[in-house]
Amino acid sequence: MKDLLYNYYGIAYNSLVKHDVTSVECVEIKFEIKDKEDQIVCKKGNGISVFSNPRKKKITIIDFEDYINKWRGQAGQGKRCDFILYDDVDYVVLNELTTCQERFLDNHYRDGREVTGKRSHAICQIQESINKLCHVPEIDDYIKKKPNKVGLFSYKIKEDANVANEVNNTMAQFRSVNRIYENVSSSNVFTKGFVFEQRIYPEAFNFK
């Protein structure tokens, strides 16, 4: 995937320019990543997205947002997810990360207006990333060969102290937390065979 981005992404968008692709490789049994940091892979407890890799596969992690930000014109327009993770054979994962208070995950109201929630925003980021990648014939062919194509929304709950104090030890809080903390999987969200998955920190996505 890294080489395909470097060699063919620009060509598909009518440009002869090539941009370097920032990436790291990881073979750890369990690892965490975080966006907008110098180091993509971070220490336990500091990340937003957690991955389990029991077979110690070589997982390549591309900073996709950083890569798209280097482009001008159509190649750099629109939404994009934070990272692409993949192994040699089985997986390609488009990962969008966020940290927010629980009440902002779904659509909510601000100053009387409905505001799109973080989850819906992440789904748009991932779908537009799928569109960008599959616009490149060589990358589209590569993705088609992967048996596991995943759009992963990873989030870390930032506690709202005021709300927590008001509802502490109530059944309402218990039901809300259990609803939010569910890990979800759906094949009806994305195109191109991608399956939607969500994980709340510190629950891990598993590279089986």
Question: What pLDDT does 101 receive?
Answer: 78
CB-count burial class (<10 Å; 0-12, 13-18, 19+) for 68: buried
What letter does residue 159 receive in the DSSP assignment? Answer: P
**Alpha-carbon distance 36 to 140, whole Å?**
27
Question: What pLDDT does 136 receive?
Answer: 98
**Alpha-carbon distance 82 to 61, whole Å?**
10
Question: What pLDDT does 172 receive?
Answer: 44
Question: What pLDDT does 139 receive?
Answer: 98
Question: Per this entry, what is the length of the chain?
Answer: 208
Residue 152 phi/psi, 5-degree rounding, is -105, 125
Question: What pLDDT does 167 receive?
Answer: 42
Strands 91-100 and 108-110: unpaired
| Strands ordered across the beta sheet of 59-63 | 23-26, 59-63, 83-86, 91-100, 148-157, 195-200, 184-186
Enumerate residue ranges in the chain where pLDDT < 50: 163-181
What letter does residue 138 receive in the DSSP assignment? Answer: H
